[in-house]
Structure 1
Amino acid sequence: MESSDQTSTAELMAKYVSSEMGYGVPKEGWRICLAHEFKEKRKPFQAKDVSLSNIMEHIGLGIRYLKWWYKKTQVEKKAPFIDMFRALPLRQIYGAPLGGIGGGTITRGWRGEFCRWQLNPGMYHYKTVIANQFTVCLRRGGQTVYQQVLSVEHPPALQGWNWGFCGQYAFYHALYPRAWTVYHLPGQNVTLTCRQVSPVIPHDYKDSSLPVAVFVWDVENRNDYDLDVSIMFTLLNGSGHKDDKSGGHWNEPFHLEKEGEAVSGVLLHHCTPVNPYTLCMAAREQPGQEVSHETAFSPKGTCSALWTDLITDGRLDSPTGSSPPTQKGEKVAAALVAKCSVLAQGHSSLEMALAWDMPFIQFGSRDRTHSRRYTRYFGSEGSAGPDLALYALTHYKDWEKKIEEWQRPILQDSSLPSWYKSALFNELYFVADGGTVWVELPEDADVSGGLRSDQGGLPAQPPVIKEYGRFAYLEGQEYRMYNTYDVHFYASFALIMLWPKLALSLQYDIAGSVVQSDPTERLVLMSGRYSAVKTRNVVPHDIGDPDDEPWTRVNAYLIHDTADWKDLNLKFVLQVYRDYHLTQDSQYLSDMWPVCQAVMESEMKFDRDGDGLIENSGYADQTYDGWTVTGPSAYCGGLWLASVCVMCKMARVLGSEDVYQRYRDVLDRGSAAFDKLLWNGQYYNYDSSGRDLSNSVMSDQCAGHWFLRASGLGDGEFQAFPQHKIRSALKSVFDLNVMKFASGQMGAVNGMRPEGVPDRSSVQSDEVWVGVVYGLAATMIHEGMLEEGLQTAEGCYRAVWERLGMAFQTPEAYCEKGIYRSLAYMRPLSVWAMQLALENHVAQTERAREVPDQNEHAQNEPDQ
């Protein structure tokens, strides 16, 4: 990623990353020099980017949204679930987030900044806290020879410190959930490698919930003399938020010993009235090493005293008492130093941890208090910081072993390109950093509102939720709705493949909401009409806004009345069977079956002419909520047929022959209608309305078939689409939406005209949706179009991670030039659908090889 004038940087990187050096930096992943500057700067989508015709079409929406936005922000003093006036600017700085799943996250940028914070559930702020730094001190013969903040910044604050590390002598490498920063200290013949480890471990439902991260500092001394090396970690009590100055915050040192292990550090108690928490910075006590601290210092002014304290002897004074509570308007920080001796031509390491303990959380409504998942193991008294740190520092090697065992088969597969390996693991950041909450099920909870199984409901507390807790993640950091279901459809592959119990827990919550209703009338911003918040036997759009009360008040999205959306019910049915196929959980399938029948009955009303195929309504009534669709359509019609096919399969599995026959009839009639109305000889038309643009090529037209393939279906008895037509459609998408768009270098545009220009009829038709592209690539791979699938997805990865500087904030959408929309979005987790497709592709290839072998063996058998 270096420019041509940075050849020396490339040489340094090559030299200091070699496997012989022992730093453990993997070959695969996302790597960037700390001196890199991204040339392309993009702006977020704004109203001015809408065409005049679209503005006129949506002028009513604009007026209603403005009124609603004013009331929300100025009267209620709340944050809008989508803020069209305050889109996030692109900051090309983010790195792998710290922390496990569901306990809040802190993002450390690739240049070392602590710069993105999600401690309050689902609510973000984007503030670089300049006091949060690592500093190195080198001493020889009792004299300090080098002391440097390991930051390339030159901030106006803390002028008494030595800033401005030369970025050309360092690089960052991410392979989530780990990251490495390698610093070659200029003129010192010393290399530092900071390894960042978070406990995000597939199929682990304990350690993966912990709000903690470990920093392992490997030090290599290539001099012919010994050195004393100190690493100082400084940390603000807070997160750069205005409540850092609210007063009452205080720090205290601690020392903890258990079972022959010991840690020392500082606790930073952040005493806000709502969701108070404690930050814990700790270092592991080891023979021949020394840990020291400064309990409290003011992070304003030059802060020369702290710098001088370190430079004097490579340690801090370690006062014993607690700091007094801060006054209003005052900030306080703390410092921790780990020190070791490194022999000439030797190597040593220092281990530090950062934990944050916010055991109870309240969402914006303050109606309920929830216990985070990790409190099951570490208690809810708010004093878990030292125990969390000790546990992390004594278990991180085991975490790394499990992470390496999980990643190794993919990383060592030479048939897979390097960019794919980086995309697969690094896009997983959103599982933890998607505003994610993982909480214990309250004792009084009833997931289906009192409706039991014999009434079409569920057990009050399904065992999977009771055992594994409730899980929710945002549609996006800018689109603040939990478990947005039309988008989760794409992202869900990551959960069902890696944390299947969380995937099933989420499904039980959705199913419980399906059978409930909320008749409260509210204004729908698009139509200007009033409708019920939640209709019974309809899948909700989302389970709520973290600034309100998720699970209790669903459907935060009020732009459309999603009870009339065509895709939500279908996506539920498809996911139910996909999940069953991958888990073989018969109880889950049995519990979901009545709910599947209910939502399909609800969906039947959209087949207005009785031909077995549903029709769209003439407005944007599915996940493409800005792209009008009329009559039977490729996207929703395809999802419908796939869902009917899945109903047939589930009926057979559960022995319900009457249901099978009913849906078999619908499938036969619907498939004929779908083919007649939409197939044009090469692909399926966008819709059947006969409008000028109804024959646009939609990149997502095979989404239904994709899910059938992912569920082991799609041919034989359980086939909804002729295979040759699917392959023809995919070839058309590849030739037009991929190769005719941006020279084939940016993925697949959502809509393309058959003459080879993007469909610009809406704000979404000429966008690339990264998560849709990964799903499209998976579909191609399922159909044996391996090279086309990989090439399609590669365009997205290289655009987002290499050209646009959107690492660890992959957006929902971007256009060919100029703009992007909705940073840090859920849908790109669909990259894991590619992995499932690749695994199936390998299995099919192996089976195909076995058949000739068996035939040959049979031919060689002597006649009996």
Structure 2
Amino acid sequence: MVMTQFKNGIPACAWNRPIGLGWSQPYTVRYASNIDDGPWHGMPLGGFGAGCIGRSSRGDFNFWHIDGGEHVFQNIPACQFSVFEDAENTKTAYALSTEAPQDGSLKSWKWYPSDTNGTYHALYPRSWFVYEHQTKVQLSCTQFSPIWANNYKESSYPVAVFVWKATNRTEAPVTISIMLTWQNMVGWFTNASKSPEIVLRDDGSPVYEYQPRLNESKDNYNFIVENTDKIGCVLARSGIVTPTEEGEGEWCIATSKQPGVEVFYHTRFNPVGTGEDVWNSFASDGSLPNILDATPADHTEQVGTALAVRITLQPGQTLEIPFTLAWNFPVTEFAEGVKYYRRYTDFFGRSGKSAWAIASTALDEYQQWWRQIEAWQQPILDRQDLPDWFKMALFNELYDLTAGGTLWSAATDIDRYGQFAVLECLDYRWYESLDVRLYGSFGLLMLFPELEKAVIRAFARAIPNSDDRTRVIGYYYVIGAESPLAIRKAKNATPHDLGAPNEHVWEKTNYTAYQDCNLWKDLGSDFVLQVYRDFILTGGSDFKFLEECWDSVVCTLHYLKGFDLDNDGIPENSGAPDQTFDDWRLQGVSAYCGGLWLSALQAAISMGTILKIADAALDTPELDESINTFQSWLEQSLPVYQAKLWNGQYYRLDSGSGSDVVMADQLCGQFYARLLGLPDIVPIECAHSALKTVYEACFLKFNDGKFGAANGLKADGSPENPKATHPLEVWTGINFGLAAFLVQMGMKDEAFKLTEAVVQQVYSNGLQFRTPEAITASGTFRACVYLRAMAIWGIYLTMNQSISIS
């Protein structure tokens, strides 16, 4: 076997970009109301559901998801690493960001030049800065958090590790110092408005204003903590005994004590002043004045803290200097009074006084964590049948498990791994949209199956519930029509999502109001397929999980069958956008929803049969009746689907609109049937013909295959309606799902050509670590940090299935 190639100890497949190099024409938002923070996004740091931070390729910390489900993108300049070097009678010092503050603060600091003086690399959950030309020593920083597959403990920790490596390549001693400064932001990341007003945005999406308490630092103070082998500074707020409110807690920066290494500190500098209170001494000799000042800030002040480590390296000597950054905000609050403890509190307690313990644990264990990450990634990195760009995207698309406004609650007797949820995206800020996760949950399923099943259990619990509150539908607002009032959640309807961070996630579902999701024709099937998928692909032995979901499987299929108005066996689409392509009107039996229905019936029959065998207590007349009912529906539906939709080359969009468009995802149901070992829902020769037509019409003939596959074009590659939205967009996750289907059908080369086109667009045009739902050929995007893009793990899954079958 050819082992992974490395450069500077970094896997060659890692995404890389010169430090500080901008983008000449990055993608911009399609709609002005959508979030567009610009291209300066780096790999996020932090555990799942613990809050996270991001550091971009120019070196600034600018991404703050500390409050569950809420987004702040802003450079905090005083949160920064700096380097001092005394070599060959020349002293240099830089703050290691190429972005100087725009407000004139920290003007005494010297900022790192951006003219090709190093490279940033990222392969989630690891990233690296390799610095060049500006120092005599060879200098790099490795960043990571303790995330690896099947790890339900450390993956929840609110911590980032920074391992600095300095090597003296000269023939004389060199003194070097690394400084970490951090602003005390305790209390900043919570909504000042506990009950924000919900309004409809111009794209019909419900939104509310998040008002973080940025710069409200009254009573914040910093103090040193140390023991025989570590030293740190805790950033706290006076008056907090045990946190009961969101935003209450601590930060901590820490480093190890080592022989021959000096550690300096300053616990109270002004992070919005000139910065000379730390910079003058640091730039002079790499030291700090060792000021211990725990005076709380008054209402006009900001306070920062600093740690610096200094060492003189002999010729040829190498030293590793670890820093850790921890944050401890144990409470996450949704609507006022609706509070949960985060998962990591199961291991560090709920006192809010554990930031030092977390940072200290990281210093003790980071080398072991690193080995665990390597052991997880290495088998994939060593595979010769996977190109480097695919390995890069495969791991980096997992960034959303950290950055996606992720929630992970503490364990309970009912949920022994806690409850888990990831936002659909930053623009559509509600959790675990079921239609989106049909593809987007493959990564979670394959790597953290217990969290995946926790999400599906939450849907199963929600299906029997109802919420009769009425509301207007945003779609009608967009098209300028009067909206009918729709109830929020119908009994036995599968909800679209698990709620939003301003209400009560997991309990108040169906937050989105763009469409009436009670009328959607894919959600029930999506739920059934994901239940069976999660059972089969996690070993086929968790019968308790299957049993927990079974009643909801039965209820939702009966609910969905209620839309079969002509009693031909298949629920009809209504002519409104009533499925995941929620700007796309389908009429009658549709290829997309109808195919999912057929596969869901097959999955339900298989589940019922398994339960009969697994538990005699479940082998009841009611269970038999459900299986027989689903079997009769299936037998009726299969010939109808083929007769109404097959046109001899591909499957029609639907039976009622007269459209001749080739829908890229027309056979999602067939893909799922084969994925789960169920019988084909269409003749295999028809599936091959349809897939070949999709590949040619939607991908090759759409801008010469440069962008990926558009959702729907005519067979000649022309648009049915040049003004349409969804049909002419390239959806990243749908493309990865389509590629998985291509692999499944023996078209691996075509799958990789399609996937590479999409990956190229994302990672070459400033969309890295904010992968959107949709891109267009005009260089615009919609809905960043999107859940569905983790569908790239579906490609990897189908490759492994094909290997095991062969």
- TM-score, normalised with respect to structure 2: 0.90
5+ residue gaps, structure 2, are: 190-211, 477-482, 613-622
Match of residue 351 from structure 1: 322
Distance in 1 separating the partners of 2:720 and 2:58? 39
Match of residue 378 from structure 2: 408
Distance in 1 separating the partners of 2:682 and 2:409? 41
Aligned partner of 2:494 among 530, 539, 546: 539
Distance in 1 separating the partners of 2:229 and 2:561? 63
The 8 Å contact of residues 21 and 58 in structure 2, kept in 1 or not, is answered as no
Cα deviation digits, residues 585-606 of structure 1 (max 9, x gap): 1111122112111111111112
Aligned partner of 1:289 among 261, 265, 270: 261
Match of residue 130 from structure 2: 182
Task: Give the superposition deviation at 1:308.
Answer: 1.1
3-state SS of 1:427 partner: helix
Aligned partner of 1:499 among 448, 456, 461: 448
Match of residue 24 from structure 2: 39
3-state SS of 1:215 partner: strand
Distance in 1 separating the partners of 2:114 and 2:508? 51
Task: Output aligned runs, 1:587-598, within 5 Å.
Answer: 587-598=544-555
Distance in 2 separating the partners of 1:251 and 1:231? 23
**Which letter does structure 2 place at the counterpart of 1:291?**
V
Task: Give the superposition deviation at 1:348.
Answer: 0.9
The 8 Å contact of residues 237 and 296 in structure 2, kept in 1 or not, is answered as no
Distance in 2 separating the partners of 1:190 and 1:138? 8
Task: Give the superposition deviation at 1:190.
Answer: 1.8
Task: Output aligned runs, 1:482-521, within 5 Å.
Answer: 482-521=431-470
Match of residue 213 from structure 2: 243
The 8 Å contact of residues 342 and 409 in structure 2, kept in 1 or not, is answered as yes
Aligned partner of 1:262 among 230, 247, 251: 230
Cα deviation digits, residues 774-808 of structure 1 (max 9, x gap): 11101111111111111111111000111x21010
Aligned partner of 1:479 among 411, 418, 428: 428
3-state SS of 1:294 partner: strand
Match of residue 92 from structure 2: 146
Aligned partner of 2:522 among 537, 545, 567: 567
The 8 Å contact of residues 254 and 267 in structure 1, kept in 2 or not, is answered as no
**Which letter does structure 2 place at the counterpart of 1:265?**
C
**Which letter does structure 1 place at the counterpart of 2:569?**
G
Distance in 2 separating the partners of 1:40 and 1:104? 31
Q: Are 1:319 and 2:291 matched, yes or no?
A: yes
Cα deviation digits, residues 354-396 of structure 1 (max 9, x gap): 1110011212x21222111101110111111111001111112
Distance in 1 separating the partners of 2:742 and 2:583? 26
Distance in 1 separating the partners of 2:426 and 2:720? 28
**Which letter does structure 2 place at the counterpart of 1:487?**
V
Aligned partner of 1:529 among 470, 484, 496: 484
Distance in 2 separating the partners of 1:213 and 1:164? 22
Match of residue 353 from structure 2: 383
Task: Give the superposition deviation at 1:207.
Answer: 0.3
Match of residue 702 from structure 1: 667
Aligned partner of 2:741 among 771, 779, 799: 779
The 8 Å contact of residues 230 and 254 in structure 2, kept in 1 or not, is answered as no
The 8 Å contact of residues 254 and 386 in structure 1, kept in 2 or not, is answered as no
3-state SS of 1:216 partner: strand
Give me the identity figure in percent.
34
The 8 Å contact of residues 144 and 314 in structure 1, kept in 2 or not, is answered as no
Q: Are 1:629 and 2:586 matched, yes or no?
A: yes
Task: Output aligned runs, 1:796-835, within 5 Å.
Answer: 796-802=758-764, 804-835=765-796
The 8 Å contact of residues 152 and 167 in structure 1, kept in 2 or not, is answered as no
3-state SS of 2:306 partner: strand
3-state SS of 2:11 partner: coil
Distance in 2 separating the partners of 1:342 and 1:250? 37
Cα deviation digits, residues 494-521 of structure 1 (max 9, x gap): 1111111111111111111111111222
Aligned partner of 1:610 among 567, 582, 592: 567
**Which letter does structure 1 place at the counterpart of 2:746?**
G
Q: Are 1:689 and 2:656 matched, yes or no?
A: yes
Cα deviation digits, residues 424-473 of structure 1 (max 9, x gap): 0000000111000101256xxxxxxxxxxxxxxxxxx64xx1x1001111
Flag the 1:721–1:557 CA change in 2: closer, same or farther, 3 A: same
Match of residue 836 from structure 1: 797
3-state SS of 2:81 partner: strand
**Which letter does structure 2 place at the counterpart of 1:564?**
L
Flag the 1:476–1:233 CA change in 2: closer, same or farther, 3 A: same
Task: Give the superposition deviation at 1:567.
Answer: 0.8
The 8 Å contact of residues 478 and 823 in structure 1, kept in 2 or not, is answered as yes
3-state SS of 1:401 partner: helix
Query: Deviation above 6 Å: which 4+ runs of structure 1?
Result: 239-242, 270-273
Aligned partner of 1:675 among 637, 642, 650: 642
Distance in 1 separating the partners of 2:164 and 2:133? 14
3-state SS of 1:335 partner: strand
**Which letter does structure 1 place at the counterpart of 2:98?**
V
Task: Give the superposition deviation at 1:261.
Answer: 4.4
Task: Give the superposition deviation at 1:268.
Answer: 4.4
**Which letter does structure 2 place at the counterpart of 1:236?**
Q
The 8 Å contact of residues 224 and 232 in structure 2, kept in 1 or not, is answered as yes
Distance in 2 separating the partners of 1:397 and 1:299? 32
The 8 Å contact of residues 749 and 758 in structure 1, kept in 2 or not, is answered as no
**Which letter does structure 2 place at the counterpart of 1:471?**
F
The 8 Å contact of residues 462 and 507 in structure 2, kept in 1 or not, is answered as no
Aligned partner of 1:129 among 76, 79, 103: 76
Match of residue 193 from structure 2: none
Match of residue 420 from structure 1: 390
Q: Are 1:28 and 2:51 matched, yes or no?
A: no
Distance in 2 separating the partners of 1:613 and 1:400? 51
Aligned partner of 1:754 among 694, 706, 715: 715
Distance in 2 separating the partners of 1:147 and 1:795? 42
The 8 Å contact of residues 44 and 90 in structure 1, kept in 2 or not, is answered as no
Task: Give the superposition deviation at 1:35.
Answer: 4.4
Distance in 2 separating the partners of 1:399 and 1:736? 47
Match of residue 757 from structure 2: 795
Task: Give the superposition deviation at 1:663.
Answer: 2.3
Cα deviation digits, residues 546-572 of structure 1 (max 9, x gap): 122222322211122111111111100
Distance in 1 separating the partners of 2:754 and 2:253? 44
Task: Give the superposition deviation at 1:320.
Answer: 2.9
Distance in 1 separating the partners of 2:161 and 2:763? 25
**Which letter does structure 2 place at the counterpart of 1:737?**
C
The 8 Å contact of residues 736 and 752 in structure 1, kept in 2 or not, is answered as yes
The 8 Å contact of residues 144 and 312 in structure 1, kept in 2 or not, is answered as no
**Which letter does structure 2 place at the counterpart of 1:391?**
T
User: Would you tell me which structure has more helix in proportion to its own residues?
Assistant: 1
Distance in 2 separating the partners of 1:18 and 1:429? 23
User: How many pairs align?
Assistant: 755
**Which letter does structure 2 place at the counterpart of 1:473?**
V
Aligned partner of 2:577 among 620, 623, 636: 620
Say which is worse superposed, 335-344 or 774-783, in terms of deviation: 335-344
3-state SS of 1:526 partner: helix
Match of residue 458 from structure 1: none
Q: Are 1:650 and 2:620 matched, yes or no?
A: no
**Which letter does structure 1 place at the counterpart of 2:786?**
Y
3-state SS of 1:654 partner: helix
Flag the 1:578–1:490 CA change in 2: closer, same or farther, 3 A: same
5+ residue gaps, structure 1, are: 1-16, 47-84, 443-460, 846-864
Match of residue 69 from structure 1: none
Aligned partner of 1:302 among 274, 280, 293: 274
